Amino acid sequence: MPATSNPRLMRSVVAVILGAFVGIVLSVGTDLLLRAGGILPAPGQAASNPVLLLATVYRTVYGILGSYITARFAPFSPMAHAMVLGLMGLVANILGTVTTWNKGPAFGPHWYPITLIVLALPTAWAGAQIRIAQMRKAAASL
């Protein structure tokens, strides 16, 4: 059976893409706003540790939100869907780290990409846990 004729599979794919889209758009949008406000440096210039810590915090929050959205729209198994998104983030962060390692100060200190790698799966888990808690609460109130 072709993938396009399986509505559950399509809903699964859409749920993961939607969560990724939300996380990416919010991260890039916040980067642009902070750059316009003079908080983030221009592209190609090194960011300070406090600025990278700020970026880590908002990217983590957006990762949790994106994973929650994926879990919310998953047709079944919200945790599994969120973890697929987390694995995608993990792979993207590893690839980004490998390709930029020791490429100069514009890519920041090594703690930053390593932190993004370490946080990829826990943020996905947290987003799914929020959705699962909502589902349990709704089920308990029936």
Amino acid 4: pLDDT:
58
Provide the residue ranges of all domains of the chain, joining segments of one domain with +.
Answer: 3-140
User: What band does 2 get if pLDDT is binned at 50, 70 and 90?
Assistant: low
pLDDT at 90 over 70: yes
Question: In angstroms, how far is CA 13 from the centroid of its own chain?
Answer: 16
Encode pLDDT of 67-80 as tens digits.
999 999 999 999 99
Amino acid 106: pLDDT:
87
Q: How far apart are CA 4 and CA 2, in angstroms?
A: 5
Q: How many CB atoms neighbour CB 29 within 10 A?
A: 11
Please tell me which residue, 117 or 44, carries the higher pLDDT value: 117
pLDDT at 3 over 80: no
pLDDT at 47 over 70: yes
User: What band does 52 get if pLDDT is binned at 50, 70 and 90?
Assistant: very high
Please state the rounded mean pLDDT for residues 18-25. 98
Give the residue carrying structure tokens 């794919």: 13
Amino acid 55: pLDDT:
97
SS3 of the chain: the string is CCHHHCHHHHHHHHHHHHHHHHHHHHHHHHHHHHHHCCCCCCCCCCCCHHHHHHHHHHHHHHHHHHHHHHHHHCCCCHHHHHHHHHHHHHHHHHHHHHHHCCCCHHHCCCHHHHHHHHHHHHHHHHHHHHHHHHHHHHHHCC
**Range of weakest confidence among 25-29, 88-92, 121-125, 138-142:** 138-142
Amino acid 142: pLDDT:
83
Amino acid 5: pLDDT:
72
